[in-house]
Structure 1
Amino acid sequence: MDAYIWQLPLLFAVGIIAGILNVLAGGGSLLTLPLLIFMGLPSAVANGTNRIAIFCQNIFAIRGFRKRGVMPMELALLCTPPALVGSWVGASLAISLDDQIFNRLLALIMLGVLVFTTLDPMKRLRKEGIEIAFARKAVIVVSFFGVGIYGGFVQAGVGFIVITALLVHGLDLVRINAIKVFVIFCYTFIALGVFIWHDQVNYLLGFALAAGNSLGGAIGPKLAVDKGHDWIKKVVTLTVLVFALKLLFFP
Protein backbone atom coordinates (compact mmCIF):
# COMPACT_ATOMS: atom_id res chain seq x y z
CA MET A 1 0.00 0.00 0.00
CA ASP A 2 2.88 2.38 0.74
CA ALA A 3 3.94 2.21 -2.90
CA TYR A 4 0.73 3.99 -3.84
CA ILE A 5 0.92 6.88 -1.36
CA TRP A 6 2.58 9.30 -3.78
CA GLN A 7 -0.07 8.47 -6.38
CA LEU A 8 -3.07 9.46 -4.28
CA PRO A 9 -2.73 13.30 -4.48
CA LEU A 10 -2.13 13.05 -8.23
CA LEU A 11 -5.24 10.93 -8.71
CA PHE A 12 -7.27 13.38 -6.62
CA ALA A 13 -6.12 16.38 -8.68
CA VAL A 14 -6.70 14.71 -12.04
CA GLY A 15 -10.05 13.44 -10.74
CA ILE A 16 -11.30 17.00 -10.17
CA ILE A 17 -10.58 17.92 -13.79
CA ALA A 18 -12.06 14.65 -15.06
CA GLY A 19 -15.22 15.11 -12.96
CA ILE A 20 -15.86 18.59 -14.34
CA LEU A 21 -15.24 17.40 -17.92
CA ASN A 22 -17.53 14.39 -17.47
CA VAL A 23 -20.42 16.57 -16.27
CA LEU A 24 -20.02 19.33 -18.87
CA ALA A 25 -19.11 17.22 -21.89
CA GLY A 26 -17.30 13.90 -21.53
CA GLY A 27 -13.84 12.45 -21.96
CA GLY A 28 -12.73 12.59 -18.35
CA SER A 29 -11.95 8.88 -18.47
CA LEU A 30 -9.54 9.58 -21.32
CA LEU A 31 -7.45 11.29 -18.65
CA THR A 32 -7.97 8.87 -15.77
CA LEU A 33 -7.75 5.51 -17.56
CA PRO A 34 -4.27 6.13 -19.04
CA LEU A 35 -3.13 7.50 -15.67
CA LEU A 36 -4.27 4.35 -13.84
CA ILE A 37 -2.51 2.18 -16.43
CA PHE A 38 0.64 4.29 -16.09
CA MET A 39 0.52 3.61 -12.35
CA GLY A 40 0.87 -0.08 -13.06
CA LEU A 41 -2.69 -1.39 -13.22
CA PRO A 42 -3.62 -3.89 -15.94
CA SER A 43 -6.08 -2.46 -18.45
CA ALA A 44 -9.06 -4.43 -17.10
CA VAL A 45 -8.29 -3.40 -13.50
CA ALA A 46 -7.85 0.23 -14.56
CA ASN A 47 -11.21 0.03 -16.35
CA GLY A 48 -12.91 -1.38 -13.25
CA THR A 49 -11.16 0.98 -10.82
CA ASN A 50 -12.23 3.99 -12.87
CA ARG A 51 -15.88 2.99 -12.37
CA ILE A 52 -15.68 3.76 -8.63
CA ALA A 53 -14.84 7.37 -9.48
CA ILE A 54 -17.59 7.61 -12.12
CA PHE A 55 -20.18 6.21 -9.73
CA CYS A 56 -19.28 8.58 -6.86
CA GLN A 57 -18.93 11.61 -9.15
CA ASN A 58 -22.44 11.25 -10.51
CA ILE A 59 -24.03 11.08 -7.05
CA PHE A 60 -22.92 14.68 -6.54
CA ALA A 61 -23.70 15.70 -10.13
CA ILE A 62 -27.28 14.39 -9.92
CA ARG A 63 -27.81 16.23 -6.65
CA GLY A 64 -26.50 19.44 -8.23
CA PHE A 65 -28.80 19.27 -11.27
CA ARG A 66 -31.85 18.35 -9.18
CA LYS A 67 -31.13 21.18 -6.76
CA ARG A 68 -31.17 23.61 -9.68
CA GLY A 69 -34.40 22.20 -11.11
CA VAL A 70 -33.05 21.08 -14.48
CA MET A 71 -33.40 17.29 -14.22
CA PRO A 72 -36.06 15.99 -16.71
CA MET A 73 -36.89 12.86 -14.68
CA GLU A 74 -39.48 11.44 -17.09
CA LEU A 75 -36.97 11.34 -19.93
CA ALA A 76 -34.13 10.22 -17.65
CA LEU A 77 -36.22 7.28 -16.41
CA LEU A 78 -37.07 6.34 -20.00
CA CYS A 79 -33.39 6.28 -20.99
CA THR A 80 -32.17 4.33 -17.96
CA PRO A 81 -33.64 0.77 -18.22
CA PRO A 82 -32.22 -0.03 -21.70
CA ALA A 83 -28.88 1.43 -20.61
CA LEU A 84 -28.86 -0.87 -17.56
CA VAL A 85 -29.33 -3.96 -19.72
CA GLY A 86 -26.75 -2.76 -22.22
CA SER A 87 -24.18 -2.02 -19.51
CA TRP A 88 -24.38 -5.59 -18.21
CA VAL A 89 -23.76 -6.90 -21.73
CA GLY A 90 -20.90 -4.47 -22.33
CA ALA A 91 -19.14 -5.04 -19.01
CA SER A 92 -19.44 -8.80 -19.45
CA LEU A 93 -17.64 -8.48 -22.79
CA ALA A 94 -14.88 -6.24 -21.38
CA ILE A 95 -12.15 -8.88 -21.40
CA SER A 96 -9.76 -7.82 -24.15
CA LEU A 97 -9.65 -4.83 -26.47
CA ASP A 98 -7.27 -3.77 -29.21
CA ASP A 99 -6.23 -0.32 -28.03
CA GLN A 100 -5.26 1.00 -31.47
CA ILE A 101 -8.55 0.03 -33.12
CA PHE A 102 -10.52 1.40 -30.19
CA ASN A 103 -8.68 4.72 -30.25
CA ARG A 104 -9.31 5.20 -33.96
CA LEU A 105 -13.02 4.38 -33.69
CA LEU A 106 -13.48 6.60 -30.65
CA ALA A 107 -11.71 9.47 -32.41
CA LEU A 108 -14.08 9.17 -35.38
CA ILE A 109 -17.12 9.14 -33.06
CA MET A 110 -15.84 12.22 -31.27
CA LEU A 111 -15.21 14.08 -34.53
CA GLY A 112 -18.77 13.23 -35.58
CA VAL A 113 -20.02 14.80 -32.34
CA LEU A 114 -17.81 17.83 -33.02
CA VAL A 115 -19.40 18.35 -36.45
CA PHE A 116 -22.91 17.91 -35.03
CA THR A 117 -22.44 20.31 -32.11
CA THR A 118 -20.77 22.90 -34.36
CA LEU A 119 -23.48 22.86 -37.03
CA ASP A 120 -26.20 22.51 -34.35
CA PRO A 121 -28.97 21.52 -36.80
CA MET A 122 -31.53 21.13 -33.98
CA LYS A 123 -31.11 24.72 -32.73
CA ARG A 124 -34.48 25.93 -34.04
CA LEU A 125 -36.28 23.00 -32.43
CA ARG A 126 -34.59 23.27 -29.01
CA LYS A 127 -36.84 23.70 -26.00
CA GLU A 128 -36.81 22.91 -22.30
CA GLY A 129 -39.01 19.84 -22.61
CA ILE A 130 -39.89 17.45 -25.42
CA GLU A 131 -43.08 15.56 -26.18
CA ILE A 132 -42.25 11.87 -25.94
CA ALA A 133 -44.33 10.19 -28.66
CA PHE A 134 -44.20 6.42 -29.24
CA ALA A 135 -41.79 6.58 -32.17
CA ARG A 136 -39.43 8.82 -30.22
CA LYS A 137 -39.60 6.47 -27.24
CA ALA A 138 -38.60 3.56 -29.45
CA VAL A 139 -35.61 5.45 -30.84
CA ILE A 140 -34.50 6.48 -27.35
CA VAL A 141 -34.79 2.93 -25.98
CA VAL A 142 -32.71 1.46 -28.81
CA SER A 143 -30.08 4.20 -28.72
CA PHE A 144 -29.64 3.98 -24.94
CA PHE A 145 -29.30 0.21 -25.10
CA GLY A 146 -26.32 0.95 -27.34
CA VAL A 147 -25.11 3.62 -24.93
CA GLY A 148 -25.23 1.07 -22.13
CA ILE A 149 -23.23 -1.52 -24.08
CA TYR A 150 -20.55 1.02 -24.95
CA GLY A 151 -20.44 2.51 -21.47
CA GLY A 152 -20.32 -0.88 -19.78
CA PHE A 153 -17.54 -2.04 -22.07
CA VAL A 154 -15.28 1.04 -22.14
CA GLN A 155 -16.86 4.14 -20.51
CA ALA A 156 -14.28 6.55 -22.00
CA GLY A 157 -16.08 8.98 -24.30
CA VAL A 158 -19.61 7.74 -23.55
CA GLY A 159 -20.67 11.27 -22.63
CA PHE A 160 -20.22 12.38 -26.23
CA ILE A 161 -22.43 9.52 -27.42
CA VAL A 162 -25.17 10.44 -24.92
CA ILE A 163 -25.00 14.07 -26.04
CA THR A 164 -25.45 13.02 -29.68
CA ALA A 165 -28.30 10.63 -28.82
CA LEU A 166 -30.28 13.43 -27.13
CA LEU A 167 -29.30 16.43 -29.26
CA VAL A 168 -31.23 14.92 -32.18
CA HIS A 169 -34.40 15.28 -30.11
CA GLY A 170 -33.93 19.04 -29.68
CA LEU A 171 -33.02 19.08 -25.99
CA ASP A 172 -30.60 21.75 -24.75
CA LEU A 173 -27.19 20.77 -23.40
CA VAL A 174 -27.95 21.73 -19.79
CA ARG A 175 -30.75 19.15 -19.55
CA ILE A 176 -28.87 16.67 -21.70
CA ASN A 177 -26.03 16.74 -19.19
CA ALA A 178 -28.50 16.25 -16.33
CA ILE A 179 -29.95 13.16 -18.02
CA LYS A 180 -26.46 11.96 -18.90
CA VAL A 181 -25.16 11.89 -15.33
CA PHE A 182 -28.34 10.14 -14.10
CA VAL A 183 -28.17 7.39 -16.73
CA ILE A 184 -24.41 6.87 -16.32
CA PHE A 185 -24.78 6.70 -12.54
CA CYS A 186 -27.41 3.96 -12.84
CA TYR A 187 -25.63 1.79 -15.39
CA THR A 188 -22.26 2.23 -13.67
CA PHE A 189 -23.76 0.46 -10.66
CA ILE A 190 -24.28 -2.61 -12.89
CA ALA A 191 -20.92 -2.37 -14.68
CA LEU A 192 -18.99 -1.84 -11.45
CA GLY A 193 -20.67 -4.92 -10.01
CA VAL A 194 -19.39 -7.00 -12.92
CA PHE A 195 -15.83 -5.75 -12.45
CA ILE A 196 -15.99 -6.36 -8.68
CA TRP A 197 -17.32 -9.87 -9.25
CA HIS A 198 -14.30 -10.61 -11.46
CA ASP A 199 -11.90 -8.97 -8.97
CA GLN A 200 -10.87 -6.23 -11.41
CA VAL A 201 -10.89 -3.25 -9.02
CA ASN A 202 -8.14 -1.53 -7.00
CA TYR A 203 -10.08 0.08 -4.14
CA LEU A 204 -7.32 2.33 -2.76
CA LEU A 205 -6.63 4.04 -6.05
CA GLY A 206 -10.30 3.96 -6.97
CA PHE A 207 -11.46 5.88 -3.90
CA ALA A 208 -8.61 8.40 -4.20
CA LEU A 209 -9.72 9.09 -7.76
CA ALA A 210 -13.37 9.10 -6.65
CA ALA A 211 -12.70 11.89 -4.14
CA GLY A 212 -11.44 14.14 -6.93
CA ASN A 213 -14.15 13.12 -9.39
CA SER A 214 -16.81 13.77 -6.75
CA LEU A 215 -15.56 17.30 -6.18
CA GLY A 216 -15.53 17.87 -9.93
CA GLY A 217 -19.03 16.36 -10.14
CA ALA A 218 -20.24 18.85 -7.54
CA ILE A 219 -18.71 21.82 -9.39
CA GLY A 220 -19.89 20.78 -12.87
CA PRO A 221 -23.68 21.31 -12.49
CA LYS A 222 -23.21 24.87 -11.19
CA LEU A 223 -21.04 25.69 -14.21
CA ALA A 224 -23.56 24.04 -16.55
CA VAL A 225 -26.57 25.95 -15.21
CA ASP A 226 -24.80 29.29 -14.71
CA LYS A 227 -23.10 29.30 -18.12
CA GLY A 228 -25.88 27.72 -20.22
CA HIS A 229 -26.09 25.87 -23.52
CA ASP A 230 -23.80 28.04 -25.66
CA TRP A 231 -20.95 27.98 -23.13
CA ILE A 232 -21.23 24.19 -22.72
CA LYS A 233 -21.21 23.88 -26.50
CA LYS A 234 -17.81 25.58 -26.58
CA VAL A 235 -16.48 23.26 -23.84
CA VAL A 236 -17.80 20.21 -25.69
CA THR A 237 -16.26 21.38 -28.97
CA LEU A 238 -12.84 22.08 -27.47
CA THR A 239 -12.80 18.87 -25.43
CA VAL A 240 -13.83 16.70 -28.37
CA LEU A 241 -11.27 18.30 -30.70
CA VAL A 242 -8.36 17.89 -28.28
CA PHE A 243 -9.14 14.27 -27.42
CA ALA A 244 -9.91 13.28 -31.02
CA LEU A 245 -6.61 14.71 -32.28
CA LYS A 246 -4.78 12.98 -29.45
CA LEU A 247 -6.34 9.62 -30.28
CA LEU A 248 -5.73 9.96 -34.02
CA PHE A 249 -2.14 11.20 -33.99
CA PHE A 250 -0.77 10.26 -30.55
CA PRO A 251 -2.30 6.82 -29.75
Structure 2
Amino acid sequence: MNWTEQLLLFLISLVANAFSAFAGGGAGLLQFPALIFLGLPFGVALATHKVASVALGVGATLRHVRERSLEWKFSLFILATGLPGVVLGAAFILDVPDWIARIALGFLTIGLGVYSYLNKALGLEHAPIHRTRRGYVLGGFVLFMVGVLNGSLTSGSGLFCTLWLVRWFGLDYRRAVAYTLVLVGLFWNGTGAITLGMLGEIRWSWLPALLLGSLLGGYLGAHWSIVKGNRWIKRVFEAVTILVGLKLIV
Protein backbone atom coordinates (compact mmCIF):
# COMPACT_ATOMS: atom_id res chain seq x y z
CA MET A 1 0.00 0.00 0.00
CA ASN A 2 1.12 3.58 -0.65
CA TRP A 3 1.18 6.27 2.03
CA THR A 4 -2.15 7.76 0.94
CA GLU A 5 -3.92 4.43 1.38
CA GLN A 6 -2.19 3.85 4.74
CA LEU A 7 -3.36 7.28 5.93
CA LEU A 8 -6.91 6.52 4.75
CA LEU A 9 -6.84 3.22 6.63
CA PHE A 10 -5.59 4.95 9.78
CA LEU A 11 -8.35 7.60 9.70
CA ILE A 12 -11.09 5.04 9.04
CA SER A 13 -9.78 2.83 11.84
CA LEU A 14 -9.50 5.78 14.26
CA VAL A 15 -13.09 6.93 13.68
CA ALA A 16 -14.59 3.42 13.63
CA ASN A 17 -12.89 2.30 16.82
CA ALA A 18 -13.55 5.55 18.70
CA PHE A 19 -17.28 5.15 18.11
CA SER A 20 -17.05 1.43 18.92
CA ALA A 21 -15.28 2.10 22.21
CA PHE A 22 -17.89 4.71 23.12
CA ALA A 23 -20.94 2.61 22.22
CA GLY A 24 -19.65 -0.85 23.18
CA GLY A 25 -19.27 -2.35 19.71
CA GLY A 26 -19.60 -1.73 15.98
CA ALA A 27 -16.01 -1.20 14.78
CA GLY A 28 -16.72 -3.37 11.75
CA LEU A 29 -19.33 -0.86 10.57
CA LEU A 30 -16.63 1.17 8.78
CA GLN A 31 -13.38 -0.73 9.10
CA PHE A 32 -14.30 -4.07 7.57
CA PRO A 33 -16.07 -2.70 4.43
CA ALA A 34 -13.08 -0.38 3.90
CA LEU A 35 -10.72 -3.37 3.75
CA ILE A 36 -12.88 -5.03 1.09
CA PHE A 37 -13.27 -1.75 -0.83
CA LEU A 38 -9.48 -1.39 -0.93
CA GLY A 39 -9.10 -4.84 -2.47
CA LEU A 40 -8.94 -7.58 0.16
CA PRO A 41 -10.98 -10.79 -0.33
CA PHE A 42 -13.65 -11.44 2.31
CA GLY A 43 -11.73 -14.07 4.31
CA VAL A 44 -8.48 -12.08 4.31
CA ALA A 45 -10.32 -8.88 5.24
CA LEU A 46 -12.09 -10.66 8.11
CA ALA A 47 -8.87 -12.08 9.56
CA THR A 48 -7.04 -8.74 9.18
CA HIS A 49 -9.93 -6.85 10.77
CA LYS A 50 -9.97 -9.25 13.74
CA VAL A 51 -6.26 -8.72 14.40
CA ALA A 52 -6.69 -4.94 14.22
CA SER A 53 -9.67 -5.11 16.58
CA VAL A 54 -7.43 -6.51 19.31
CA ALA A 55 -5.74 -3.10 19.48
CA LEU A 56 -9.17 -1.60 20.20
CA GLY A 57 -9.32 -3.79 23.29
CA VAL A 58 -5.80 -2.78 24.30
CA GLY A 59 -6.54 0.93 23.99
CA ALA A 60 -9.82 0.64 25.89
CA THR A 61 -8.20 -1.51 28.58
CA LEU A 62 -5.52 1.12 29.20
CA ARG A 63 -8.28 3.62 30.00
CA HIS A 64 -10.86 1.46 31.80
CA VAL A 65 -8.40 -0.30 34.12
CA ARG A 66 -7.75 3.05 35.76
CA GLU A 67 -11.43 3.24 36.74
CA ARG A 68 -11.41 -0.22 38.42
CA SER A 69 -14.97 -0.90 37.27
CA LEU A 70 -14.45 -4.61 36.42
CA GLU A 71 -15.10 -7.53 38.79
CA TRP A 72 -12.49 -10.21 38.10
CA LYS A 73 -14.81 -13.16 38.87
CA PHE A 74 -17.49 -11.82 36.54
CA SER A 75 -14.79 -11.14 33.94
CA LEU A 76 -13.64 -14.77 34.10
CA PHE A 77 -17.26 -15.90 33.69
CA ILE A 78 -17.63 -13.84 30.49
CA LEU A 79 -14.37 -15.23 29.12
CA ALA A 80 -15.19 -18.85 30.02
CA THR A 81 -18.62 -18.76 28.37
CA GLY A 82 -17.75 -16.65 25.33
CA LEU A 83 -14.34 -17.91 24.17
CA PRO A 84 -15.51 -21.43 23.12
CA GLY A 85 -18.18 -19.78 20.97
CA VAL A 86 -15.58 -17.50 19.37
CA VAL A 87 -13.43 -20.48 18.34
CA LEU A 88 -16.47 -22.36 17.01
CA GLY A 89 -17.69 -19.39 14.97
CA ALA A 90 -14.26 -18.56 13.55
CA ALA A 91 -13.59 -22.19 12.62
CA PHE A 92 -16.72 -22.46 10.45
CA ILE A 93 -17.21 -19.02 8.94
CA LEU A 94 -14.59 -19.34 6.18
CA ASP A 95 -16.52 -22.25 4.61
CA VAL A 96 -20.12 -21.08 5.18
CA PRO A 97 -22.13 -18.69 2.94
CA ASP A 98 -23.49 -16.17 5.41
CA TRP A 99 -25.66 -13.66 3.49
CA ILE A 100 -28.89 -15.00 4.98
CA ALA A 101 -27.43 -14.85 8.48
CA ARG A 102 -26.24 -11.30 7.82
CA ILE A 103 -29.71 -10.10 6.79
CA ALA A 104 -31.36 -11.78 9.78
CA LEU A 105 -28.67 -10.42 12.11
CA GLY A 106 -29.12 -6.97 10.59
CA PHE A 107 -32.80 -6.83 11.53
CA LEU A 108 -32.01 -8.24 14.97
CA THR A 109 -29.28 -5.64 15.52
CA ILE A 110 -31.68 -2.83 14.58
CA GLY A 111 -34.05 -4.35 17.10
CA LEU A 112 -31.41 -3.88 19.81
CA GLY A 113 -31.31 -0.14 19.20
CA VAL A 114 -35.09 0.15 19.04
CA TYR A 115 -35.48 -1.88 22.25
CA SER A 116 -32.98 0.32 24.08
CA TYR A 117 -34.67 3.48 22.81
CA LEU A 118 -38.14 2.36 23.90
CA ASN A 119 -36.86 1.43 27.38
CA LYS A 120 -35.92 4.90 28.54
CA ALA A 121 -34.39 3.90 31.89
CA LEU A 122 -32.50 0.85 30.59
CA GLY A 123 -28.84 0.90 31.53
CA LEU A 124 -28.87 4.26 33.30
CA GLU A 125 -28.48 2.79 36.79
CA HIS A 126 -26.24 -0.05 38.02
CA ALA A 127 -28.48 -2.68 39.68
CA PRO A 128 -26.97 -6.21 39.42
CA ILE A 129 -29.53 -9.02 38.97
CA HIS A 130 -29.63 -12.71 37.99
CA ARG A 131 -26.50 -13.55 40.00
CA THR A 132 -27.90 -17.01 40.80
CA ARG A 133 -26.96 -20.41 39.36
CA ARG A 134 -29.92 -20.33 36.96
CA GLY A 135 -29.13 -16.75 36.01
CA TYR A 136 -25.51 -17.56 35.26
CA VAL A 137 -26.43 -20.67 33.22
CA LEU A 138 -28.87 -18.81 30.97
CA GLY A 139 -26.67 -15.73 30.83
CA GLY A 140 -23.62 -17.83 29.99
CA PHE A 141 -25.46 -19.68 27.20
CA VAL A 142 -26.38 -16.39 25.54
CA LEU A 143 -22.80 -15.15 25.91
CA PHE A 144 -21.64 -18.38 24.22
CA MET A 145 -23.95 -17.65 21.27
CA VAL A 146 -22.70 -14.06 21.14
CA GLY A 147 -19.19 -15.54 21.04
CA VAL A 148 -20.17 -17.58 17.98
CA LEU A 149 -21.32 -14.36 16.31
CA ASN A 150 -18.08 -12.66 17.33
CA GLY A 151 -15.97 -15.36 15.72
CA SER A 152 -18.00 -15.57 12.53
CA LEU A 153 -19.25 -12.06 11.74
CA THR A 154 -17.65 -8.65 11.49
CA SER A 155 -20.18 -6.31 13.09
CA GLY A 156 -22.61 -6.36 15.95
CA SER A 157 -21.30 -8.97 18.39
CA GLY A 158 -19.94 -6.39 20.81
CA LEU A 159 -23.27 -4.56 20.71
CA PHE A 160 -25.10 -7.79 21.56
CA CYS A 161 -22.77 -8.41 24.48
CA THR A 162 -23.20 -4.86 25.79
CA LEU A 163 -26.99 -4.97 25.72
CA TRP A 164 -27.12 -8.49 27.22
CA LEU A 165 -24.96 -7.40 30.15
CA VAL A 166 -27.29 -4.44 30.67
CA ARG A 167 -30.56 -6.32 30.23
CA TRP A 168 -29.84 -9.65 31.92
CA PHE A 169 -27.20 -8.83 34.53
CA GLY A 170 -28.39 -5.31 35.39
CA LEU A 171 -25.21 -3.40 34.56
CA ASP A 172 -25.34 0.24 33.57
CA TYR A 173 -24.09 1.15 30.11
CA ARG A 174 -20.73 2.47 31.31
CA ARG A 175 -19.83 -0.79 33.10
CA ALA A 176 -21.24 -2.96 30.31
CA VAL A 177 -19.17 -1.11 27.70
CA ALA A 178 -16.07 -1.55 29.86
CA TYR A 179 -16.59 -5.32 30.06
CA THR A 180 -17.30 -5.54 26.33
CA LEU A 181 -14.24 -3.55 25.28
CA VAL A 182 -11.78 -5.24 27.61
CA LEU A 183 -13.03 -8.83 27.37
CA VAL A 184 -14.61 -8.95 23.91
CA GLY A 185 -12.25 -6.44 22.30
CA LEU A 186 -9.06 -7.91 23.73
CA PHE A 187 -9.65 -11.59 24.51
CA TRP A 188 -12.54 -12.65 22.27
CA ASN A 189 -11.19 -10.81 19.24
CA GLY A 190 -7.67 -12.05 20.02
CA THR A 191 -8.89 -15.65 20.05
CA GLY A 192 -10.81 -15.11 16.83
CA ALA A 193 -7.79 -13.52 15.19
CA ILE A 194 -5.56 -16.46 16.15
CA THR A 195 -8.11 -18.98 14.86
CA LEU A 196 -8.66 -17.13 11.58
CA GLY A 197 -4.91 -16.59 11.20
CA MET A 198 -4.29 -20.33 11.50
CA LEU A 199 -7.08 -21.25 9.06
CA GLY A 200 -6.88 -18.32 6.66
CA GLU A 201 -4.63 -15.41 5.67
CA ILE A 202 -3.78 -12.09 7.32
CA ARG A 203 -2.54 -9.11 5.27
CA TRP A 204 0.28 -8.05 7.60
CA SER A 205 1.37 -5.05 5.52
CA TRP A 206 -1.98 -3.37 6.15
CA LEU A 207 -1.86 -3.77 9.91
CA PRO A 208 0.40 -0.88 11.10
CA ALA A 209 -2.15 1.79 10.16
CA LEU A 210 -5.08 -0.32 11.37
CA LEU A 211 -3.44 -1.15 14.70
CA LEU A 212 -2.47 2.46 15.41
CA GLY A 213 -5.96 3.72 14.56
CA SER A 214 -7.60 0.99 16.66
CA LEU A 215 -5.33 1.64 19.64
CA LEU A 216 -5.86 5.41 19.67
CA GLY A 217 -9.55 5.13 18.81
CA GLY A 218 -10.12 2.58 21.58
CA TYR A 219 -8.48 4.83 24.17
CA LEU A 220 -10.30 7.97 23.05
CA GLY A 221 -13.69 6.26 22.86
CA ALA A 222 -13.25 4.69 26.29
CA HIS A 223 -12.26 8.06 27.74
CA TRP A 224 -15.33 9.76 26.25
CA SER A 225 -17.64 7.03 27.57
CA ILE A 226 -16.27 7.52 31.09
CA VAL A 227 -16.51 11.31 30.90
CA LYS A 228 -19.94 11.55 29.23
CA GLY A 229 -21.75 8.89 31.28
CA ASN A 230 -24.63 6.48 30.73
CA ARG A 231 -27.16 8.70 28.97
CA TRP A 232 -24.74 9.67 26.19
CA ILE A 233 -23.53 6.06 25.83
CA LYS A 234 -27.13 4.87 25.57
CA ARG A 235 -27.89 7.29 22.74
CA VAL A 236 -24.72 6.49 20.79
CA PHE A 237 -25.34 2.75 21.34
CA GLU A 238 -28.83 3.09 19.84
CA ALA A 239 -27.52 5.01 16.82
CA VAL A 240 -24.65 2.58 16.18
CA THR A 241 -26.87 -0.51 16.44
CA ILE A 242 -29.25 0.85 13.82
CA LEU A 243 -26.38 1.80 11.50
CA VAL A 244 -24.71 -1.61 11.92
CA GLY A 245 -28.02 -3.35 11.28
CA LEU A 246 -28.60 -1.37 8.07
CA LYS A 247 -25.03 -2.11 6.97
CA LEU A 248 -25.51 -5.85 7.49
CA ILE A 249 -28.75 -5.81 5.47
CA VAL A 250 -27.60 -3.56 2.63
Corresponding residue for residue 202 of structure 1: 203
Q: Secondary structure at the match of 2:154?
A: coil
Alignment of 1:88-127 (within 5 A): 88-98=87-97, 100-120=99-119, 123=122, 126-127=125-126
One-letter code aligned to 2:180: K
Alignment of 1:44-123 (within 5 A): 44-98=43-97, 100-120=99-119, 123=122
- Structure 1 distance, partners of 2:120, 2:170, is 9
Gaps of 5+ in 1: none
- Structure 1 distance, partners of 2:222, 2:158, is 15
Alignment of 1:201-220 (within 5 A): 201-220=202-221
| TM-score, L = length of structure 2 | 0.91
- Structure 1 distance, partners of 2:75, 2:119, is 22
Deviations 1:185-230 (CA, angstroms, capped at 9, x unpaired): 1122221111221241001112311110110001111111111111
Q: 1:74: Cα distance to partner? A: 2.5
Alignment of 1:158-173 (within 5 A): 158-168=157-167, 169-173=169-173
| TM-score, L = length of structure 1 | 0.90
Which of 13, 16, 33 in structure 2 is aligned with 1:18?
Answer: 16
- Structure 2 distance, partners of 1:6, 1:228, is 36
Q: 1:32: Cα distance to partner? A: 0.9
- Structure 1 distance, partners of 2:149, 2:143, is 10
One-letter code aligned to 2:16: A
Q: 1:247: Cα distance to partner? A: 4.0
1:72–1:179 Cα contact (<8 Å) kept: no
2:47–2:201 Cα contact (<8 Å) kept: yes
Instruction: Mark the CA change 1:131 to 1:140 in structure 2 (over 3 Å): closer, same or farther.
Output: closer
Instruction: Mark the CA change 1:95 to 1:180 in structure 2 (over 3 Å): closer, same or farther.
Output: same
Corresponding residue for residue 6 of structure 1: 4
One-letter code aligned to 1:12: F
Instruction: Mark the CA change 1:60 to 1:246 in structure 2 (over 3 Å): closer, same or farther.
Output: closer
- Structure 2 distance, partners of 1:124, 1:32, is 27
Q: 1:96: Cα distance to partner? A: 3.9
- Structure 1 distance, partners of 2:123, 2:231, is 14
Q: Which moved more, 1:128-137 or 1:142-151?
A: 128-137
Corresponding residue for residue 240 of structure 1: 241
User: What is the aligned-residue identity percentage?
Assistant: 25
- Structure 1 distance, partners of 2:199, 2:248, is 29
Instruction: Mark the CA change 1:98 to 1:59 in structure 2 (over 3 Å): closer, same or farther.
Output: same
Instruction: Mark the CA change 1:225 to 1:178 in structure 2 (over 3 Å): closer, same or farther.
Output: same
Deviations 1:227-251 (CA, angstroms, capped at 9, x unpaired): 1111101111122223333444xx2
One-letter code aligned to 1:13: L
Q: Secondary structure at the match of 1:208?
A: helix
Q: Which moved more, 1:19-28 or 1:236-245?
A: 236-245
Instruction: Mark the CA change 1:187 to 1:242 in structure 2 (over 3 Å): closer, same or farther.
Output: closer
Q: 1:119: Cα distance to partner? A: 2.3
2:6–2:209 Cα contact (<8 Å) kept: yes
Instruction: Mark the CA change 1:51 to 1:4 in structure 2 (over 3 Å): closer, same or farther.
Output: farther
Instruction: Mark the CA change 1:16 to 1:91 in structure 2 (over 3 Å): closer, same or farther.
Output: same
Q: 1:135: Cα distance to partner? A: 1.5
Instruction: Mark the CA change 1:195 to 1:68 in structure 2 (over 3 Å): closer, same or farther.
Output: same
Instruction: Mark the CA change 1:216 to 1:243 in structure 2 (over 3 Å): closer, same or farther.
Output: same
Q: Secondary structure at the match of 1:200?
A: coil
- Structure 1 distance, partners of 2:143, 2:99, is 25
Q: 1:157: Cα distance to partner? A: 1.1
2:124–2:231 Cα contact (<8 Å) kept: no
Instruction: Mark the CA change 1:144 to 1:237 in structure 2 (over 3 Å): closer, same or farther.
Output: same
Gaps of 5+ in 2: none
One-letter code aligned to 1:153: S
2:232 is the counterpart of 1:231? yes
